[in-house]
Amino acid sequence: MILIGPFSQIITMGGLPLCGPLKDDALVVIPNGGVLVNKDKIVALGSFNTLRKKHKARLVEITGPACLLPGLIDAHTHICHAGSRANDYALRVAGKTYLEILKQGGGILDSVRKTRAASRKQLCQTLSERATHALRSGVTTCEVKSGYGLTVDDEIKMLEVIKSVHKDHPVDLVPSCLAAHVKPPEFDTHKDYLNFVATSLLPVVVKKKLSRRVDVFVEEGAFSSALSRPYLQRAAAMGFDLIIHADQFSTGGSRLACEVKALSADHLEASTDADIRALAKAGVIATVLPGASLGLGMPFAPARKLLDHGCSVVIASDWNPGSAPMGDLWTQAAVFGAAQKLSTAETFAGMTFRAARALRLHDRGVLWPDMLADMQAFPCKDYREILYHQGQLKPNRVWKKGVLIVGEKEKL
């Protein structure tokens, strides 16, 4: 066993509800704290001096100010891809809309062409580099979508790359099958393509155990609710959790998420009050993506309303080559929280234990006995400094399963 500390503060994120608003005074904060770790799990937390007297453990001393939080869980990313879409970004800031660029053959289809042409080795290298970048910012678990292949072979290639990097990289990567991203040019109709995915791709994903999650982009230029409904129902019958890119530019996706009992509805920038009430009633997790709003120059998702109506709100980066190229979850969350008037507790929760629920992970997101020792420490005495610096204060130590990966004697 090892005893790590003393920390100026340990913010456990324990004992908080999965849904609804949170006040900062509900946070469990342990001053001058220590964490007792055995292998990959937390054994105990509390006063550092008390733990040192009570347990025989190897001491890992923390010098200087340090606030400890759970490792971040980024529950929505597209970081397995090849190439850049800097040209798309230049067109958008010059006045073209996201959907206009998509209709002209840019957007997602541009990334599809580049990802199809990339080798597995190239995709593994770039995915690993992005996962390392995320880890240096405190992300210890990261969802990663396919969706830039859009053929059986290329989607399987992407999912196998995610699986391979997951095995070799400290960050846990959770794969999602987003073959229903857009219709590829090889198909005449959206209906034919979705039928192809359901009959030719998803059975292979199941057989190879490459993902337990199916996602679909419900939007103009992508897939309608009417076409997505039977596709999602077939995926659910195969045992997949359902995720929907919903209400990014127009409404309808969130209502479909409620109808098919999706695990989460992601985006929600265009959601109405009626949509929000429906999400809360159905218990669908609301995953908001401030990186996309920043990348597209459009309004943020209404997180304050979602929380006040009783939703479980998750904050994820949407890190992708087109609409959300930043990939810095702390910066996005800090700016988003200020705009939406989120408490520090609500912002932290959206990237820790509530994000874990969006991935059906029950062993992380909270610093508590028997949970994974996925942790990050910031060089400050007061946890309120973290969001105050709006992403410019980064963790100087990150542990994954009890092993110090970022910091002294760095293992990256």
Q: Please count the residues of the chain.
A: 412
Mean pLDDT calculated for residue range 351-378: 98
Alpha carbons 300 and 340: distance in angstroms, whole number: 8
Backbone angles phi, psi at 181, to 5 degrees: -95, -60
Between 3.90.1150.10, 3.40.50.620, 3.40.50.280, 2.30.40.10, what CATH number should domain 2-70+364-406 receive? 2.30.40.10
- Look at the domain 73-358 and name its fold: TIM Barrel (3.20.20)
Query: What is the pLDDT, as a whole number, of residue 106?
Result: 79
Query: What is the pLDDT, as a whole number, of residue 406?
Result: 93
Alpha carbons 231 and 180: distance in angstroms, whole number: 9
Domain range annotation of the chain: 2-70+364-406, 73-358
For 117-161, the pLDDT digits (tens) are: 999 999 999 999 999 999 999 999 999 999 999 999 999 999 999
Of the candidates 308, 309, 292, which has an alpha carbon nearest to the alpha carbon of residue 300? Answer: 292
The number of C-alpha atoms within 13 Å of 325 and in the hemisphere containing its C-beta is 16
Q: Is the pTM of this model over 0.85?
A: yes
Higher pLDDT, 354 or 101: 354
Query: What is the pLDDT, as a whole number, of residue 111?
Result: 95
Domains 2-70+364-406 and 73-358 share a fold: no
